[in-house]
Amino acid sequence: MNDAERGRSRMVELLQRQGISDSGVLDALRRVPRELFVPTVFRPHAHADRALPIEAGQTISQPFIVAYMTERLELSADHKVLEVGTGSGYQAAVLAMLCRRVYTMERSRVLLALARRRFEDLGLVDVISRLGDGWRGWSEQAPFDRIIVTAAAPELPPDLVGQLAENGRMVVPIGPEQGDQTLVLVTRNAGEFAQQRLLPVRFVPLVSHARTGRGAAPG
């Protein structure tokens, strides 16, 4: 085992102690090289259970949150998944270990370019990414078996709810930019939607020109 593998292995042991029990999820976090998804200066901290700054003033979520959200999705190998907020690409890479195809959207051109390079370097051909406002989802590819939003939305994005397949599950942080946010699980069964509050969380905001009708286009 090299240093990075040892670091990931210790990270996964810590997650297990914090209650993450799905062996597929734990294995995915052991396999995806988190150290390659953070800026070089933060590499020494890549396997600590904390969020880290990435380019464009954004953050890569802490490993526990990545594992927890992934576990709540209850993924299968045949699932088609939408992620809103590609960021570093780390969460998308974790999802890719556990499902058929990941569609991921990012509003920052800079972050998207960096994430794409990582997907390519790691041979993650089942991750499809595009620049765009995730508030609107990805209608051309809908419906999705699973949807994960990794930025906090002020309210449940209606278009995303509409793009959830039958028997679908979505995890999304809901709440104001500087206030209390809650991770919410939305399920769809027999055409009926249900919501469950999971955890208090702190995410960067989902910035949407489409929602507010104002603000500049992303750079």
Q: Which residues are catalytic?
A: 61
Choosing from 26, 75, 124, 151, the residue that interacts with ligand SAH (CB under 6 A) is 151
Annotate 128-146 with DSSP letters as a single string: EEEES-GGG--GGG--EEE
Count other C-beta atoms under 10 Å from residue 197's C-beta.
10
Min CB(191)–ligand SAH separation in Å: 27
Q: Is 129 in the site for ligand SAH (CB under 6 A)?
A: no
Choosing from 133, 147, 170, 185, the residue that interacts with ligand SAH (CB under 6 A) is 133
- Coil, helix or strand at residue 79: coil
215's CB contacts (< 8 A; 6+ apart) are: 207, 209
Q: Is 63 in the site for ligand SAH (CB under 6 A)?
A: no
Query: Strand pairing of 52-53 and 59-60?
Result: antiparallel
Q: Is 174 in the site for ligand SAH (CB under 6 A)?
A: no
* Helix runs in the chain, H state only: 3-17, 23-31, 63-73, 90-96, 109-121, 158-162, 209-212
Choosing from 63, 85, 168, 173, the residue that interacts with ligand SAH (CB under 6 A) is 85
Cα 198 to chain centroid distance, Å, stands at: 16
Q: Is 163 in the site for ligand SAH (CB under 6 A)?
A: no
Q: Is 150 in the site for ligand SAH (CB under 6 A)?
A: yes
Choosing from 46, 81, 82, 105, the residue that interacts with ligand SAH (CB under 6 A) is 105
* Chain residues in the site for ligand SAH (CB under 6 A): 58-61, 84-85, 87-88, 90-91, 105-108, 111, 133-135, 150-151, 204, 206-208
